[in-house]
């Protein structure tokens, strides 16, 4: 319907493209103002008329159209009242399409997403959940739009911190303790190193020496490092399994260590590398940025060097149209430096194709999380606690439900994910159990409960099958129409979420649909004797169920059939 109205307007004005017209068309805030509205402000300059006069002229030129009941001029707005039968049929037909909400805009294009990326030998704490959850949702959103998405877990598995850990392990570690407690024991050693290094600063020199041995291929150093890495990945995958996600590649910093020499050579060849206090840097004063450190004064690489190597490797290997980096906003300068260095090496594509996607901090009931001090909360523990709390609620409310364990997992894990994605990613997130697990608020459990309600209604309708041979007049009431309008936004919601790299757009849409459905459900009985009415309303229930399911899947959340 919006496309048809766009065509109508485009055929009767000049100065705006169809895409511009389409983007300007709004959904009025109140039904009495029409189904669609077109503002005429932008035409005032080119047409040298008052917007209200322009609106009146366009209305006169359009005249009578079969799919429009009437057109009103309200100030500078042209308000369109769609023919309800045609409008509803269009919305129902669209919502029943197999890939409703998706498109082919990304066909033939590849997007790389660098996300999660925990530091090896450190625990996967609540702070890592944000990059993991946001990145996974963006993967699903862009896949829905037809893109080939390469999911990369850029593990922090190289650097001086491993020298520190080796020193700590050799001084205070125990092989059996590491085998038994894994990353938790490695974290204790890491914290112990920093405590001791405050008293004995020379330990930092030992750590740097061990990392140099790693860089130079020393077998003992590499064997210990590989052992730490293997232990870590096993634990990380347990958390990923809980979240129901995986990666195409676990290509950490170490993968690029033999590719950094080529980067240094490129920078030298381009006369970009300069010495500073024994280190090698790229000066970025002209761009109001601190210098980008490439090689430390002992000649070893740094994460910027490896990030540069990763950019070129990904461009050559995947030929991406965009490469997204989902990390905390505290890394904004780092990525600005890296992207600028890529551009200075003669790669104009860096301006549009390399994108840092920052997000805010995370806390549990307001307590910030820190790795070095040992004040840490495991992501796995948070997820399992959410599942346990939901299981307690199920035992109280519906103890006979089938698949109790799986249902509790879907709701508990979904609640954590939804709590993260409901607010804009740049905002800080706090885990508050009372809010997170609420079945009545703007939460994951509320949306999942609405889905389960739809599933329950459809199970009780014997012989119901979906087709478009329904009486659309039945759906002409305010609540049914409002729900269908809400659902019809799905394609634009997905496109907006991709354009803004903002999964919260989808999460808020899911809540809006759930709220609109519950209003419809409270004012319209579904299982009525009149078969015509029952079939039409059941079709709306079916469409709602599918739309909620697909919106939640874009967030990385599954909906249980029963709750």
Residue 470: CA count within 13 A, CB half-sphere: 28
What length is written for the chain? 563
Specify the 3-state DSSP secondary structure of 82. strand
Give the torsion sign (CA, 324, 325, 328, 330).
negative
What is the C-alpha separation between 499 and 495, in angstroms, rounded?
6
Distance between start and end Cα atoms, the chain: 36
Supply the pTM of this predicted model. 0.89
DSSP code for 124: -
Could you tell me the CA-to-CA distances from 509 to 414, 449, 480, 490, 555 in Å, in that order?
16, 15, 17, 8, 11
Dig out the tokens for 500 from the structure. Answer: 């803004």
Residue ranges of domains in the chain, CATH in brackets: 2-82 (3.30.1360.70), 389-555 (1.10.730.10)
Count CB-CB contacts under 10 A for residue 12.
14
Paired strand residues for 74: 77
Cβ atoms of 71 and 12 closer than 8 Å: no
pLDDT in 10s for each residue of the chain, 563 residues: 889 999 999 999 988 999 999 999 998 988 889 999 999 999 988 888 999 999 999 999 999 998 999 999 999 999 999 998 888 999 999 999 999 999 999 999 999 999 999 999 988 888 789 999 999 999 999 999 999 999 999 999 998 899 999 999 999 999 999 999 999 899 999 999 999 999 999 999 999 999 989 988 999 999 999 999 999 999 999 999 999 999 999 999 999 989 999 999 999 999 999 999 999 999 999 999 999 999 988 777 788 999 999 999 999 999 999 999 999 999 999 999 999 999 999 999 999 999 999 999 887 775 554 444 445 678 898 899 999 999 999 999 888 898 899 999 999 999 999 999 999 999 988 878 888 888 988 999 999 999 999 999 999 998 788 877 899 989 988 899 999 999 999 999 999 999 999 999 999 999 999 999 999 999 999 999 999 999 999 999 999 999 999 999 999 999 999 99
Which stretches does DSSP call E strand in 84-139? 110-114
Residue among 46, 36, 35 at smallest CA distance from 13: 46
Compute the C-alpha angle 462/463/467, nearest 5°.
Answer: 130
3-state secondary structure of 190: helix
324 neighbors 138 (Cβ within 8 angstroms): yes
Q: Taking Cα atoms as reference points, which of 242, 119, 234 lies closest to residue 179?
A: 234
Q: Residue 437 and residue 444: Cα distance in Å, rounded?
A: 8
Q: Which residues are CB-contacts of 273 (< 8 A; sequence separation ≥ 6)?
A: 264, 267, 280, 281, 282, 294
Q: How far apart, in whole angstroms, are the C-alpha atoms of residue 262 and residue 254?
A: 15
């Amino acid at each position: 319907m919006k496309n048809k109205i766009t065509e109508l307007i485009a055929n009767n004005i000049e100065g705006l493209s169809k895409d511009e017209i389409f983007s300007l068309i709004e959904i009025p805030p109140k039904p009495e103002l029409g189904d669609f509205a077109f503002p005429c402000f932008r035409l005032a300059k080119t047409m040298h008329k008052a917007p209200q006069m322009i609106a009146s002229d366009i209305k006169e030129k359009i005249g009578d159209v079969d799919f429009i009941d009437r057109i009103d001029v309200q100030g500078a707005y042209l308000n369109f009242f769609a023919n309800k039968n045609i409008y509803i049929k269009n919305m129902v037909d669209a919502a029943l399409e197999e890939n409703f909400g998706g498109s082919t805009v990304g066909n033939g294009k590849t997007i790389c997403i660098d996300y999660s990326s925990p530091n090896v030998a450190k625990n996967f704490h609540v702070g890592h959940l944000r990059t993991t959850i946001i990145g996974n949702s963006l993967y699903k959103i862009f896949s829905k739009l037809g893109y080939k998405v390469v999911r990369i877990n850029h593990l922090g598995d190289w650097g001086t911190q491993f020298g520190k850990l080796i020193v700590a392990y050799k001084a205070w570690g125990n092989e059996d303790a590491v085998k038994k407690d894994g990353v938790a024991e490695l974290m204790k050693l890491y914290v112990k190193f920093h405590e001791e290094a405050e008293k004995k600063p020379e330990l930092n020199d030992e750590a740097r020496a061990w990392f140099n041995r790693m860089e130079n291929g020393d077998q003992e150093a590499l064997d210990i490092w590989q052992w730490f890495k293997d232990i870590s990945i096993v634990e990380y995958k347990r958390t990923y399994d809980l979240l129901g996600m995986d990666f195409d590649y676990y290509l950490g910093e170490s993968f690029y260590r033999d590719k950094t020499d080529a980067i240094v050579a490129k920078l030298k060849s381009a006369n970009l590398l300069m010495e500073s206090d024994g280190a090698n840097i790229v000066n970025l004063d002209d761009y109001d940025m601190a210098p980008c450190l490439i090689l430390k004064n002992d000649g070893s690489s740094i994460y910027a060097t490896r990030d540069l190597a990763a950019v070129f490797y990904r461009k050559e290997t995947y030929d991406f149209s965009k490469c997204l980096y989902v990390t905390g906003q505290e890394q904004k300068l780092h990525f600005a430096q890296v992207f600028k260095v890529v551009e200075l090496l003669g790669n104009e594509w860096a301006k549009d194709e390399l994108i840092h996607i920052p997000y805010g901090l995370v806390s549990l009931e307001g307590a910030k999380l820190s790795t070095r001090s040992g004040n840490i909360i495991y992501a796995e523990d948070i997820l399992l606690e959410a599942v346990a709390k939901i299981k307690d609620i199920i035992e109280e409310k519906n103890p006979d439900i089938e698949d109790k364990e799986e249902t509790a997992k879907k709701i508990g894990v979904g609640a954590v994910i939804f709590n993260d994605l409901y607010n804009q990613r740049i905002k800080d997130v706090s885990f508050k159990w009372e809010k997170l697990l609420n079945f009545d608020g703007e939460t994951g459990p509320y949306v999942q409960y609405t889905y389960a309600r739809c599933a329950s209604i459809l199970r009780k309708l014997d012989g119901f099958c979906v087709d478009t041979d329904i009486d659309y007049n039945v759906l002409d009431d305010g609540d049914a129409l409002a729900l269908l309008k809400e659902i019809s936004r799905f394609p634009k919601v997905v496109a907006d979420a991709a354009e803004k790299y903002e999964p919260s757009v989808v999460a808020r849409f899911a809540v809006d649909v759930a709220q609109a459905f519950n209003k419809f459900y409270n004012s319209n009985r579904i299982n009525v004797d009149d078969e015509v009415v029952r079939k039409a309303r059941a079709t709306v229930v079916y469409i709602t169920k599918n739309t909620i399911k697909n919106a939640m899947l874009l967030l990385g959340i599954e909906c249980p059939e029963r709750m």
